[in-house]
Structure 1
């Protein structure tokens, strides 16, 4: 199994932890504050990870050029907008359909990769993305009475449109982060991923801090009260992002995002083994399809 697949699986596992912690924080501070801690508290850890990568590989920092900053700005803003749209979706009364559309991110990442980086998806990649997306859609729509087939007629719904917009932003962000990392031209994938992470997370932290200062300065006090949990969010968030950017330096963003769907399996494993919750037939089928998608990539790349 190629190293980028192992890195992606590890990043998905860590991101599942980060998502759980952020969900806990959202109930104790504003949405902007809970989003900020992902970036702001992750900055020092990002630079630590980069220092470790430089020391371990014995290389120097690459020269940052104009193209790199262009990719970073697009990627950072797209990721923030994607997160905002996702939060809007979760605030809705019924967001099952919208959540399903978010899971088409690998498809959109493939489209952006073709348009912006001129990367033509291979047949195995197309198959893997399609299989994994169908698997996640089955899981997402498992408890909706109308079933997954209602997706075809649900595009006009506001939650579906927000879900698609969020997926598009995350797909654009993934491809742009890959573009930024590749524009460095070396010295190796670990340092390239680390540099991309440090610049991006610093920019995002500054943007979110400015937003809070303008909209709800009191959020800073709530963040300070929960500094221990926030620090943990920053650590696991930066670690997951380091994994994503490193993997996307090695492989197309669409492939990385397809393997990243395995995060759903981690969530279900926790649900089944920890909380003793049962899975229905559609959820089990979805999990198996995600595994099949990952296996297709593992055996053909």
Structure 2
């Protein structure tokens, strides 16, 4: 049951991080706002790991754990790039909905790489929730060109691959409790992503890099929330399959729609209401199968 609580906390914290990043995008650009989650998240994760090291013996990542972590780190950064390409091509709704096919590709990759059993119950739950996301998106699918579909599905597949990499890295650690293992891999992953982000920005987008330095106060908030959310994501990966975690995370979609209706007075269509019902049904089905 603990993985359910950690996933819900992670989804809530991620919403706050997204809001903080959205505020930075207009001032430092998309690339800069994306890099903030790594660059400013690393100090918080490293500090937490240092405190944990005073109380426990840290697990030493071996070759396998390092390889899984690097795979997850690179896949996550590439996934963000494909998502941005899809958004530029056909808009936010289509791109987001296609990227949310992640649990499907994640379950298939997990079965192949980590030998995690699928089972018809889990397949049905994941497919139901993803279908709900496609309906909730409200996207005009007649406008979805092949390139945008490819970019969006690739984003979802790479996000799924990154989650598999993080779970594989955690499982490959030789010892330690689930929180300590999650914190170790989180810090390692953020270190890899920070180095890659700084190299990329230094070579290709120095304007964004100077913007990050200028907006360091706002970036700190995004980094802190990002590290907090990631710790709970990684803890969830340490407790159960990545497909379970990412499917349950889809519950944030109807939550966001409800907030839009209550706060912004934006009414949902019948199709979106049906989609929210499918997401809730799929998540409930998954919990019934997993528990």
TM range (shorter): over 0.9
Q: Where does residue 42 of structure 2 map in the other structure?
A: 43
Asked if 1 retains the 8 angstrom alpha-carbon contact of 2:106 and 2:161, the reply is yes
Deviation at 1:220, TM superposition (A): 2.4
Alignment of 1:287 with 2:287, yes or no, is no
* Counterpart Cα distance in 1 of 2:260 and 2:51: 35
Q: Which runs of 5+ in 2 are unaligned?
A: none
Question: Out of 292, 295, 298, which is 2:287 matched to?
Answer: 298
CA shift at 1:54, angstroms?
A: 5.7
When the two structures are superposed, what TM-score results if normalisation uses the length of structure 2? 0.93
Q: Is the 8 A contact 1:32 1:208 kept in 2?
A: no
Distance 1:276 1:52 in 2: 45
Residues 13, 228 of structure 2: 8 Å contact kept: yes
SS of structure 2 residue aligned to 1:277: coil
Higher share of residues assigned helix:
2
Please give the per-residue CA displacement for 1:114-167, whole angstroms capped at 9, x wherever unaligned.
Answer: 111111113332122111111111101x253x6xxx69xx6x611101001111
Structure 2 residue corresponding to 1:188, chosen from 174, 177, 182: 177
Given the two structures, how large is their TM-score scaled by the length of structure 1? 0.90
Does residue 168 of the first structure (1) align with residue 157 of the second (2)? Answer: yes
CA separation of 1:211 and 1:264: change in aligned 2, threshold 3 A: same
1:53/1:190 contact within 8 Å kept = no
Matched, 1:131 2:128: yes
What is the CA-CA distance between 1:41 and the residue it aligns to?
A: 0.3
CA shift at 1:263, angstroms? 1.9
Gaps of at least 5 residues in structure 1 are: none
Say which of 239, 250, 254 aligns to 1:250: 239
Tell me how far apart the structure 2 counterparts of residues 104 and 197 of structure 1 sit (CA, whole Å).
24
Contact map agreement 2:60 2:174 (CA 8 A) in 1: no
* Aligned counterpart, 2:248: 259
Provide Cα deviations, 1:196-252, integer angstroms capped at 9, x if missing partner. 100000110110011111112232221122112111110111111111111011111
Matched residues in 1 for 2:285 and 2:188: separation?
A: 33
The alignment's C-alpha RMSD in Å is 1.9
On the 8 A contact 2:41/2:226 being kept in 1, the answer is: yes
Aligned pairs for 1:221-240 within 5 A: 221-240=210-229
